[in-house]
Structure 1
């Protein structure tokens, strides 16, 4: 139990590159929270990461329950379909949630988390980086207020597996299996939906390698196109979101690293916990992203 004066105790579930590079440093440095522990599927990895930030380490099934018991909230840095059932379990234990995107790669998995959070009345935030990185977040709010957009183009083209790249995330099994649709698709949609409105029509097609192309119609009447891949050549890589409408052309600004963005997501969760008001990028929004991506996957692969 926390009061307005006490820091929020946030545990971290996960010990991979995302946890090491982003979540653990942001939580340990945040003035409004206490890193209450680090849980990992491997005890050695949990111990190393916890020790680096002066926090207790937990592992195994019993250790997960211990983390929940000593935390007001839990941040997840796990593959999506590992994250989902553990997050539902955390919510049932009364813990607020900071979830990585996507919440799950199945609608049933994402819905389980959303229903568990609703039943337990816990706050949640889904960490879509651009919704919390300072410059993009301000840009998204500005464009949503401007309105009257006619069309938009979003491209998230990464070269994660190109020869010579040395990304920490290239060895991720779930990214290899699910590709750019699920890894970077949530990022693109998390920008378009708050500006153009929810998706009313979706058409998906497959491109080269793991590329996916989406054509979307939104509740505002605007349309958008989305291109997503992790398998592009290095020279082709880049991220762009461009809006066109009555007021001209607006382009998504560049942003810095993810640590500051994650700190802003922590701020958002703390505010939601203190006020009882849901954040726009909460687990219900995460469920909607999963629904859209699952529909795109089904159109392309006939699932």
Structure 2
């Protein structure tokens, strides 16, 4: 196990803007990590990111794993899951993106691989690692007494003429808001209200999905998830109602700063040997809930 005094050698899997501008930037800036290499399915793009961040490109992903203590992933979920299981089997700790996978079987394979290898894992649910929102969630979980909640993600991703990587991503286009922003909604509801005991789902306009959730605490919650909201109606809204009154989540801050928080969480989990609350096991549970919702939609 890596000691607290050791810098974690981290490899990056992914070649998109998210990989470069958030993952690589945060890994280079963090004092506890050393970005030792990049691998991607597009070798030229991988070489460009490696050059931009002063590291080397790997042509073979297993060679990257062999050179690392940990691997950060910035690839589609169904590419991420088998590679993550492979990295864990090679003895690498995992810094994963959400959703972990879009099938329960693939997500479970990652969890089993981490447990068998004894490696740490952290999944980057943005608001769980942004300073203001993570502290807010901790306070509300400690407060308790919540009656109902709503967690609404209204994204305006598909603006006319926008041909960005995020808009054209095949997995995002194919899976829609349920799988792209649904994990964010669940990541803030579960730590406060407890596990989901039942879920009902209904379709709205375009890719919009409405969820009704029952939680182990006895509270209920709703979530509206959309990537196709009109631009002037977009926004994120999380609200809790209970014995303490009505509270709303604060703004989350920059993604690169939140990713730095996720890096710190992985370092602490490696140092202490204790699983983080947002580990692969938690992400598996999110995949199970989203799969149940997808089944409801038919």
Give the TM-score, by structure 1 length. Answer: 0.96
Q: Which runs of 5+ in 2 are unaligned?
A: none
Conservation of the 8 A alpha-carbon contact between 2:16 and 2:165: no
Q: Which of residues 153, 165, 170 is equivalent to 2:167?
A: 170
**How many angstroms apart in 2 are the aligned matches of 1:75 and 1:285?**
17
Corresponding position of 1:145: 142
Corresponding position of 1:97: 94
Aligned length: 298
Corresponding position of 1:31: 31
Q: Which runs of 5+ in 1 are unaligned?
A: none
Corresponding position of 1:73: 70
**How many angstroms apart in 2 are the aligned matches of 1:222 and 1:167?**
39
Conservation of the 8 A alpha-carbon contact between 1:162 and 1:232: no
1:38 is paired with a residue of what secondary structure? strand
The Cα RMSD (Å) is 1.0
1:4 deviation in Å?
A: 2.6
What are the within-5 Å matches in structure 2 for residues 34-45 of structure 1? 34-45=34-45
Corresponding position of 1:129: 126
1:201 deviation in Å?
A: 1.1
Corresponding position of 2:21: 21
Change (3 A) 1:167 1:43: closer
1:41 is paired with a residue of what secondary structure? coil
Corresponding position of 1:184: 181
Conservation of the 8 A alpha-carbon contact between 2:2 and 2:270: no
1:164 deviation in Å?
A: 5.0
1:56 deviation in Å?
A: 1.1
**How many angstroms apart in 1 are the aligned matches of 2:94 and 2:2?**
15
Change (3 A) 1:290 1:220: same
**How many angstroms apart in 2 are the aligned matches of 1:157 and 1:234?**
9
Corresponding position of 1:110: 107
